[in-house]
């Protein structure tokens, strides 16, 4: 529940490993120091979330409930605060895959109706492409 409350999971693939590693640490010592929590997670990989929310979530188990990982948040660059994402549609010249980037739910439903019976694959950061390429070929993709 600490991972969920701290936004430490996106795809969920790595979450069981993180949870079991934290469980093992808590079995060893019921009240670890923040430094022990940080050092206990060497070797775990997360391609989606990044480590800050995971470490922060598990830092709540540290003695005193302190947040782990000393950091300072940075503000968004001013240009990004006013940037408007434009809808997009293109076809990959090599694979003939179609890519769409709807920016509203209405645009999303237009894309869904356009592709008809073709395979449609929502894509978020495209981190699954390394695995999915072995199981699926071609189709239309929706990028967020």
Range of the domain at 41: 2-65
Specify the number of domains making up the chain.
2
Those residues with Cβ within 8 angstroms of residue 68's Cβ, 6 or more apart along the chain or in another chain = 34, 37, 38, 55, 56, 58, 59, 62
The answer to whether position 90 is within a domain reads yes
Mean pLDDT for the chain?
Answer: 77
Query: Averaged over 16-33, what is the pLDDT?
Result: 86
- By mean pLDDT, which of 62-66, 104-108, 127-131 is the weakest? 127-131
Question: What CATH number should be reported for the domain holding residue 61?
Answer: 1.10.150.120
Q: Indicate whether 73 belongs to any domain.
A: no
Tell me the pairing of strands 98-101 and 88-91. antiparallel
Q: Using the predicted structure, report yes or no on whether residue 134 has a pLDDT greater than 60.
A: no
87 in a structural domain: yes
What's the angle, vertex CA 118, arms to CA 113 and CA 123, rounded to 5?
85
If asked whether residues 124 and 89 sit together in one domain, one would say: yes
Question: Distances from the Cα of 120 to the Cαs of 10, 84, 112, 142, in angstroms?
Answer: 21, 25, 8, 7
CA neighbours within 13 Å on the CB side: how many for 119? 8
pLDDT of residue 65: 61
91 shares its domain with 57: no
**Residues 60 and 97 occupy one common structural domain:** no
Query: Is residue 72 one of the residues assigned to a domain?
Result: no
Asked whether residue 134 is domain-assigned, the answer is yes
Domain-embedded: residue 10 = yes
The whole-model pTM stands at: 0.45
């Amino acid at each position: 529940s600490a991972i969920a409350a701290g936004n430490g999971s996106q795809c969920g693939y790595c979450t069981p490993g993180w949870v079991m590693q934290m469980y093992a640490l808590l079995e060893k010592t019921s009240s670890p120091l923040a430094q022990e929590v940080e050092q206990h997670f060497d070797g775990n990989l997360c391609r989606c979330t990044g480590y800050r929310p995971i470490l922060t979530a598990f830092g709540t188990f540290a003695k005193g409930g302190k947040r782990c990982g000393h950091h300072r948040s940075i503000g968004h660059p001013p240009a990004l605060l006013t940037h408007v994402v434009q809808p997009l549609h293109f076809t990959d010249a090599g694979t003939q895959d179609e890519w769409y980037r709807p920016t509203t739910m209405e645009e999303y439903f237009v894309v869904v109706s356009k592709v008809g019976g073709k395979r449609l694959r929502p894509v978020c950061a495209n981190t699954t492409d390394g695995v999915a390429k072995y199981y699926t070929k071609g189709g239309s993709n929706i990028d967020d």
